[in-house]
């Protein structure tokens, strides 16, 4: 099977590509290698993939540029799509809203149009737990109303779900949206809490605890997320007019992929301290604009339909990340 993976040099895209290659799939990746964080990390992820020339190719393409997207992939056979590329980050949206409009709205629409033009068998795409906003109904259920996003990022992800619903309804393209919950692990993103806290502890710098430390997150280890993505890829929703998770009667399903537990920020800090062998210096800060105080995934639908069962608590996942981070930082220092 030939699979297009967008954001293939990103955190989740790298791990998904690695798993697909390992099971013998042909992976065609695209990534724009932008400067949201150091592009060197993306380049090193791609270089770390265990590939031969026939297994994987990654084109430096911005999928917000529809003409270049179609031209680059014109002679490539593609059966299914895993659309993970996006402008990430809740707080960055207040600084650079145009990046979100370009990548998450125009870019998503371009990928949908590409899927339609190629009559792909199934398109799996990344949504986000941020669509739930400040809902007080925990754990978050996919059937909940998500009409009040508190960040631009969340608004674009909700819009992506609606655009995907329209393509599934109009053209019968099987679509699966995955609402990810705070993904972390080796090769992660430098703007995420686990990376930032680990970096601060090891360098003796203070950790900023937003909302004065009163936050809870459903931290989900990357291996568990990848298992959910691959399970979703292998199970396209049927065009049978039956109601799918998320409420669609088109071939479009939406699932939460989370660890199914809301961890206190203090527990994350304690796990990082234990893995680093150092105490953290902390600084209490107010809640940033667009951030939420708690996330917690109800994974009932994903467990039933996809067999999704996360198995990695932060007591296991955090040491795995810290081990990787120390090795990565030492290699950077040596170069």
Active-site residue list: 153
**Phi, psi of 114, rounded to the nearest 5 degrees:** -65, -45
Measured from the Cβ of residue 282, the count of other Cβ atoms closer than 10 Å reads 16
The Cα 310–Cα 14 span in angstroms is 19
């Amino acid at each position: 099977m030939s699979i297009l993976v967008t954001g293939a040099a990103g955190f989740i895209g790298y791990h998904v590509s690695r798993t697909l290659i390992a099971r013998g799939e042909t992976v065609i990746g695209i990534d724009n290698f932008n400067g949201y964080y150091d592009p060197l990390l993306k380049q090193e992820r791609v270089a770390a993939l265990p590939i031969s020339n026939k297994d994987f190719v990654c084109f430096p393409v911005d999928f917000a540029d529809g003409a270049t997207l179609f031209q680059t992939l014109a002679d490539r056979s593609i059966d299914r799509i895993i659309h993970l590329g996006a402008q990430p980050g809740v707080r960055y949206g207040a600084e650079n809203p145009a990046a979100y409009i370009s990548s998450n709205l125009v870019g998503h629409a371009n990928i949908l149009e590409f899927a339609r033009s190629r009559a792909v068998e199934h398109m799996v795409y990344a949504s986000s737990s941020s669509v739930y906003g400040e809902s007080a109904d925990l754990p978050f259920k996919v059937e909940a109303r998500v009409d009040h996003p508190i960040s631009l990022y969340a608004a674009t992800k909700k819009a992506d779900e609606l655009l995907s619903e329209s393509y599934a309804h109009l053209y019968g393209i099987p679509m699966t949206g995955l609402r990810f919950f705070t993904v972390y692990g080796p090769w992660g993103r430098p703007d995420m809490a686990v990376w930032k806290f680990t970096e601060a502890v090891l360098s003796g710098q203070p950790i900023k605890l937003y909302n004065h430390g009163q936050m809870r997150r459903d931290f989900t280890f990357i291996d568990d997320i990848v298992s959910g993505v691959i399970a979703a890829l292998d199970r396209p929703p049927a065009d049978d007019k039956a109601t799918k998770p998320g409420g669609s009667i088109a071939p479009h399903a939406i699932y939460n992929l989370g660890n199914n537990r809301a961890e206190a920020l203090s527990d994350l800090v304690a796990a990082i301290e234990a893995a680093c062998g150092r105490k953290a210096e902390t600084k209490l800060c107010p809640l940033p604009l667009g951030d939420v105080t708690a996330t917690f995934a109800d994974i009932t639908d994903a467990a039933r339909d996809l067999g999704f069962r996360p198995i990695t608590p932060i007591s296991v996942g955090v040491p795995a990340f810290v081990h990787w981070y120390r090795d990565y930082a030492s290699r950077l220092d040596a170069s």
